[in-house]
Structure 1
């Protein structure tokens, strides 16, 4: 039998065109290796070599995973440390950082909003508590509702709904502005600023900020004013509550509006709007109108 010598490359074909059984390229271990001898089967040596290479590769991959995890941990630790280094001065030192946006305030200046909310001379949103700011603002009688939100990256947004005066009442020492709940939200020595209807017919003693009117007739008058659309409410100059059974409102053009006891405020307000629109459209000469929801009336002169 003819013996052939292979140096690792594919053998030359026989004359018949067939190849001897193929072998993968095999490079035996260095001479003197304890794991190899010339008498060992090549396939066994090849298999053992593959396993040894696979084990080394597995160890290498494991080592690389460990190194990657260690690198990620170091990166996280570095990021946290950097944030702490930045955060500490912002949290405790009197430095400015971020901004505050205020929406919804009309008569209350921005400076008053910030002062009442407890914002110092500089704005640092890290040092401010939105819950504490909201609590302080809701204690101010000028503020009806308030919402405070943090917005990325460094903004505090304050949304304010102010209490609105719907009427003014004369007192012993001046004028008290009242909102629709009957709460005194402002006290002035003279009528100025917001033009709202004056409630007459009741003698009021001293009214202080935060006081609430408990008189039922006045409550009905305030409820009526609150239900009127803004364009109609602007036409009301006075409401007289001297009689519990006959509240009378007066327009800026001198038209009296009979409101009865002032109950069913929403319905009476709707009737008032409709009748005043009719008077304006038809240019009627009117003595008074009756805003009774069951039998509305325009009394001509």
Structure 2
């Protein structure tokens, strides 16, 4: 055998040894998961997020199915976007953003927490811990599954009002009421209510109400109601 062939054979053998050694090293406990970090969870608990991945500490970082973990997490209604990634040598990192709860809707004997487009995020029996406005006067006809969209037009119109409301007003918005005749009235936590008129008027009138509240010199706590249902200047009533 020539020196050239012998050298080539030794090189191939060395490469194979390196590949096999690396493959064995990849399976070693050095790459076992010792930490699973969750970034971005607010409504969901860290342990709840980790359990959804079906990945546990002690598993080999190379053997976990990242694609499957992402898909499992995306099935949860609260999770909007998610990215699961390996951080060598022994950490799994889960980065996620959650949907934002916008309002609560009454359904049967429960309350449905919904995001801006009307998707159900969760059901709750207790409103005490829910610090977002409740939609009244319009109910869901039947209970639907987490992650599904509400179809009732009256509720979607009320949600559109919540979506138009800037944070400084939304933070004191307690109720959006859809009356029997289709008019919309919003209530603030201080008792002030704003009569927005029909669904067709409500969006534009909510913008007018916000401008008006920002312009008024008086403390809004002194206002009983603002009526924007009619043409012309708004009607402002002071006192209770």
- Is TM (by shorter chain) over 0.5? yes
Residue 298 of structure 1 deviates from its aligned partner by: 5.7
In structure 1, C-alpha distance between the alignment counterparts of 2:58 and 2:205, rounded to whole Å: 51
Secondary structure of 1:167's match? strand
Contact 1:184 1:207 in 2 (8 A): no
In structure 2, C-alpha distance between the alignment counterparts of 1:148 and 1:291, rounded to whole Å: 49
Query: Which residue does 1:241 correspond to in 2?
Result: 178
1:82 pairs with 7, 15, 21, which one?
Answer: 21
Computing the radius of gyration over CA atoms, which structure comes out larger, 1 or 2?
1
Residue 209 of structure 1 deviates from its aligned partner by: 3.6
2:167 pairs with 226, 230, 233, which one?
Answer: 230
| Structure 1 pair 288–132 and aligned structure 2 pair: CA distance change class (3 A) | same
Secondary structure of 2:85's match? strand
Residue 198 of structure 1 deviates from its aligned partner by: 1.1
| Structure 1 pair 219–283 and aligned structure 2 pair: CA distance change class (3 A) | same
Residue 264 of structure 1 deviates from its aligned partner by: 7.9
TM-score, normalised by the number of residues in structure 2: 0.79
Q: CA RMSD in A?
A: 3.2
| Structure 1 pair 264–110 and aligned structure 2 pair: CA distance change class (3 A) | farther
Query: Which residue does 2:83 correspond to in 1?
Result: 147
Structure 2 unaligned blocks of 5 or more? none
Q: Where do 1:6-155 residues align within 5 Å?
A: 72-88=11-27, 96-97=32-33, 99-120=35-56, 122-155=58-91
Secondary structure of 1:144's match? strand
- Alignment of 1:253 onto 2:186: no
Deviations 1:179-226 (A, max 9, x none): 222122211222132311111112445524425321112101112212
Residue 67 of structure 1 deviates from its aligned partner by: 7.3
Which structure would you say has the larger RCO, counting Cα contacts within 8 Å and 6 or more residues apart?
Answer: 2
In structure 2, C-alpha distance between the alignment counterparts of 1:229 and 1:125, rounded to whole Å: 44
Aligned length: 233
Residue 286 of structure 1 deviates from its aligned partner by: 2.5
Residue 109 of structure 1 deviates from its aligned partner by: 0.6
2:211 pairs with 264, 270, 274, which one?
Answer: 274
In structure 1, C-alpha distance between the alignment counterparts of 2:57 and 2:90, rounded to whole Å: 17
Residue 86 of structure 1 deviates from its aligned partner by: 2.1
In structure 2, C-alpha distance between the alignment counterparts of 1:267 and 1:131, rounded to whole Å: 45
In structure 1, C-alpha distance between the alignment counterparts of 2:228 and 2:63, rounded to whole Å: 56
Going by fraction, where is strand more abundant, 1 or 2? 2
Contact 2:33 2:57 in 1 (8 A): no
Query: Which residue does 2:105 correspond to in 1?
Result: 169
Contact 2:140 2:150 in 1 (8 A): no
Query: Which residue does 1:180 correspond to in 2?
Result: 116
Contact 1:99 1:125 in 2 (8 A): no
In structure 2, C-alpha distance between the alignment counterparts of 1:138 and 1:164, rounded to whole Å: 15
TM-score, normalised by the number of residues in structure 1: 0.65
